[in-house]
Amino acid sequence: MTDRTLPGPACLYELAAERRLPAHQPMDQVTLRWIADNRPVNFDAAPSFPRLGPTLVPARSWFAIERQADSNHGIRHNARVSLLAALLAQEYGFDRDAVAAVCAAGAVHDCRRNDDRADPGHGRRAAAWFRHHADTVTRALEHEVPAPLLHRAAQAIAVHDVPYDRFTARQERAYRHAPHLVDVLKAADCLDRYRLPLKRWWPDTTRLRIPVPDWLPPAAFALVLRSEQAGLDGATHHHALTGARHSLTLGQ
């Protein structure tokens, strides 16, 4: 009798190509290897962050659905966006309170998702959750953010999932109250799209309203690879993210 190896579950890359992605999409080793193999050719071979930016790894309890915390818009994604937003805020000269505000916004922007699909309105739901739990978030961040900045951070969260050209009149007015926070959060969220299993979904910086420094896209790509690999190897979400952040800051 000939031994037969039963096929394993389909990877995200294959499912995306076949338009069969499930509602919840945790990373798998085959997809992560595909991402690594498709590293953009113009990227620096030794990416690094110029400084150790602050970050906030969200708690599992912040998520509307526990299963979603381990999925493609879950804890590690939110933590990476938190870090990328803080680094961009520092790059643009935000003061310490504003850096903390956008760092917090990044950590919770997708926490009220129901699934990994489009899920319209998840930004508005996350903003509402943030307004009611701002004390919890800022305690975890270990930085007391002034109330006006918390309000602007909530406004940024509420529209992060809405393209600029689809803003309602009300959203446009809210944007004018916090344009820098919105622009930085949208850019940070965009830069973490290297985790997605089709290249056409990867970052398109022409859609952003702020320039992104040349060092950031290669570092964001490396951050995805290192933190996702650590997660697949069994590291906690916190250790996966902080380990990847430190290695890139130290240029390892």
- Placement of tokens 């498709």 in the chain: 38
What was the pLDDT predicted at 252?
Answer: 59
Q: Are 109 and 126 in contact (CB under 8 A)?
A: yes
**Closest to 79 (Cα-Cα) out of 243, 238, 201:** 238
Q: How far apart are CA 118 and CA 75, in angstroms?
A: 18
Q: How far apart are CA 185 and CA 84, in angstroms?
A: 9
Q: Residues 117, 121, 124, CA angle at the centre, nearest 5°? A: 130
- For the stretch 173-230, pLDDT in tens is 999 988 999 999 999 999 999 999 999 999 999 999 999 999 999 999 999 999 999 9
CB atoms within 10 A of CB 94: 20
What was the pLDDT predicted at 3?
Answer: 38
- For the stretch 98-153, pLDDT in tens is 999 999 999 999 999 999 999 999 999 999 999 999 999 999 999 999 999 999 99
**Closest to 77 (Cα-Cα) out of 234, 216, 209, 244:** 244
**Closest to 149 (Cα-Cα) out of 138, 163, 136, 160:** 138
- For the stretch 61-72, pLDDT in tens is 999 999 999 999
